[in-house]
């Protein structure tokens, strides 16, 4: 499956299936509390193509503080990666997944992917600012964009939204580790500010 981000803001965008043109995911981020309350708190909602919420990310400043995937309250980055230690090889980050001991989240200064260690196959990959791609993954002329390429886990141990969220979190780690430009949230528009104040909150009980 090849999904295209429709915006350069990876946490405020839609992901569209390149082969079918159908909406796969929609990510939107709203400010919950402003600087007067300390660090800005935000929440990112991820909805599937039918509009159902399938994941949320709670932010404190630029740090992801709480993550939910489907009906599971995962916690923070330590729980998402199921590890309190990260292996830093020169110019590479390598982290075992929480769902399969043979899978590794891997990041370098210019790549982000999920590796099946046994077969040495990339099961998912974020193509950052890549040349335009079509469903056959052949490049098309035009400005670069961001794509998510993924294959379902053979045993269904990881839903696509978990792969999406974890690769985005890995990008946050990658930027800090390799001194790349840190992710910056776009300033909220007046509409977003108003919606953040009036939108109904989910029942979390």
**pLDDT of 47-95, one tens digit each?**
999 999 999 999 999 899 999 999 999 999 989 987 766 666 778 998 9
Q: Is residue 203 part of a domain?
A: no
Locate all alpha helices (DSSP H) within the chain, ordered by sequence.
Answer: 77-80, 160-177, 190-198
pLDDT at 82: 79
pLDDT at 36: 66
Q: Is residue 103 part of a domain?
A: yes
Question: Do residues 106 and 99 touch, judged by C-beta distance below 8 A?
Answer: no
Give me the mean pLDDT over the 156-179 stretch: 91
Which of 39-43, 59-63, 176-180, 196-200 has the weakest average pLDDT?
Answer: 196-200
Confidence at 156, pLDDT banded by 50, 70, 90? confident
Q: Is residue 128 part of a domain?
A: yes
Q: Which domain holds residue 96?
A: 2-198
Of the candidates 95, 114, 96, which has an alpha carbon nearest to the alpha carbon of residue 153?
114
Q: Is residue 101 part of a domain?
A: yes
Q: Is residue 204 part of a domain?
A: no
User: What is the rounded (10 degree) CA torsion for 98, 17, 25, 195?
Assistant: 150
- Owner of token pair 């982290």: 95
> Rounded to whole angstroms, how far apart are CA atoms 17 and 20?
6
Q: What percent of the chain clears pLDDT 90, i.e. is strictly above it?
A: 52
Confidence at 196, pLDDT banded by 50, 70, 90? very low
Q: What is the number of structural domains in the chain?
A: 1
């Amino acid at each position: 499956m090849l999904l295209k981000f429709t915006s350069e803001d990876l946490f405020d965008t839609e992901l569209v299936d390149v082969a079918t043109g159908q909406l796969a995911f929609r990510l939107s981020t709203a400010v919950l509390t402003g600087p007067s309350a300390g660090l800005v708190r935000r929440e990112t909602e991820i909805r599937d193509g039918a509009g159902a919420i399938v994941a949320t990310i709670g932010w404190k400043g630029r740090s992801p503080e709480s993550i939910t995937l489907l009906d599971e309250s995962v916690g923070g980055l330590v729980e998402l990666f199921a590890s309190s230690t990260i292996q830093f090889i020169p110019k590479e980050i390598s982290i075992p997944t929480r769902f399969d001991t043979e899978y590794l989240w891997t990041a370098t200064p210019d790549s982000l992917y999920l590796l099946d260690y046994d077969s040495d196959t990339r099961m998912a990959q974020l193509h950052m600012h890549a040349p335009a791609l079509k469903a056959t993954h052949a490049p098309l002329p035009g400005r670069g964009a961001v794509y998510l390429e993924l294959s379902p886990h053979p045993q269904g141990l990881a839903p696509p939204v978990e792969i999406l969220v974890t690769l985005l979190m890995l990008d946050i780690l990658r930027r800090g580790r390799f001194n790349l430009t840190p992710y910056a949230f776009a300033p909220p528009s007046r509409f977003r500010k108003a919606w953040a104040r009036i939108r109904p909150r989910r029942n979390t009980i």
